[in-house]
Amino acid sequence: MIIIVGATGTIGNALLRRLTQFGVPVRALSREPEKLVARLGKLAEELDQSLIEVAAMDASDPQSMRSAFAGGSQLFLAMSNSPKQIELETSVIRIAKEMGINHIVKISSPAYDLSAPVEVARWHQEIEWVLYESGITHTILRPYAFMQNLLRQASTVKAANMFFGSMGNAACNFIDCRDIADVAAQVLTKKEWAGQIHTLTGSEVFSYPEVADRLTALLDRPIRYMNLSPEKHRTDLIELGQLPPWLANHVVEIQAMSVALPEKPTSAVKKIIGRDPRTLDAFLQEHVEHFR
Ligand SMILES: NC(=O)c1ccc[n+]([C@@H]2O[C@H](COP(=O)([O-])OP(=O)(O)OC[C@H]3O[C@@H](n4cnc5c(N)ncnc54)[C@H](OP(=O)(O)O)[C@@H]3O)[C@@H](O)[C@H]2O)c1
């Protein structure tokens, strides 16, 4: 039985679909299982529901983890970012070991030098270290920026034909979360990819001005990328975007890293899933209505 922590999340939900298409039974976990059941119910024709067990689990409640992990052999772990992330993921790893899970696939983030100013990346490195020390076989997936993040720019594109950032014209690796899920599905079902670290990207890098050009062509109206100073970007994210300061910091820090360290694609996705990663053009085309 494969346990999915983060089954309502962007990657976890796509993984659940892929594994059930492979005919693999999964236990999908959420703090709000009834919402997950309702969501799965809407996919009744698409998914073989007999392969999916839904259970309640809160990573801040060890007893809920013991029940949810019982009988599991492998565990997928994608936890939303929060200042409690190290504590929560460390508890998941500890209870997984106690319950006899023998392989954990963890969603991490690109590894930077420990002195790099990306706090969330340092959290992930600390959790990777906990996994290493646990002695459980583990596979680390380190994806770059999700294409799905671009959907957060849709509101200002719709309202004002522009979007904002602070990464100038730096080239950025984007990956579709569904490709991350496809990689995770391979890692969980084929031994050859387990026990390794895989850095995941799409097949091309794009700058924000290039994304604006793509949107301009797709929407048939001019879309502009407005570059802000990191300080202004951070203030706007907090004051206009209502982001908590730690998350605003994260967005600005990650964009500063794209400027400081030129990004380039890796071949990991194609090697593991046997096809090219989804392209940004295909993603924007598929989601064009969000930006109209
Ligand atoms: N966005 C990016 O560009 C990017 C790039 C690289 C790496 N990452 C990493 O990707 C990870 C997020 O992946 P994602 O986007 O697929 O996740 P997500 O959509 O944010 O969903 C995360 C899941 O975490 C679960 N969760 C949160 N708190 C929990 C708790 N206390 N107990 C149990 N479950 C809990 C939620 O489940 P319920 O709410 O249903 O309980 C949800 O399903 C982060 O660690 C992030 O650092 C993101």
User: pLDDT digit string (tens) for 115-165?
Assistant: 778 999 999 999 999 999 999 999 999 999 999 999 999 999 999 999 999
Rounded to two decimals, the pTM is: 0.97
pLDDT at 117: 83
- The answer to whether the CB of 202 is under 6 A from ligand 1 is no
- The answer to whether the CB of 57 is under 6 A from ligand 1 is yes
Closest-CA residue, ligand 1 atom 23, reads 6
CA of 29 to the centre of ligand 1 (A): 12
CA of 7 to the centre of ligand 1 (A): 9
User: Residues near 84 by Cβ (< 8 Å), separated by ≥ 6?
Assistant: 60
SS3 of residue 4 by DSSP: strand
CA of 90 to the centre of ligand 1 (A): 14
pLDDT at 113: 77
CA of 5 to the centre of ligand 1 (A): 9
* Average pLDDT of the segment spanning 68-72: 98
Closest-CA residue, ligand 1 atom 40, reads 30
| Token pair recorded at residue 137 | 């076989």
User: Residues near 6 by Cβ (< 8 Å), separated by ≥ 6?
Assistant: 12, 29, 76, 77, 78, 79, 80, 107
pLDDT in tens, 227-260: 999 999 999 999 999 999 999 999 999 999 999 9
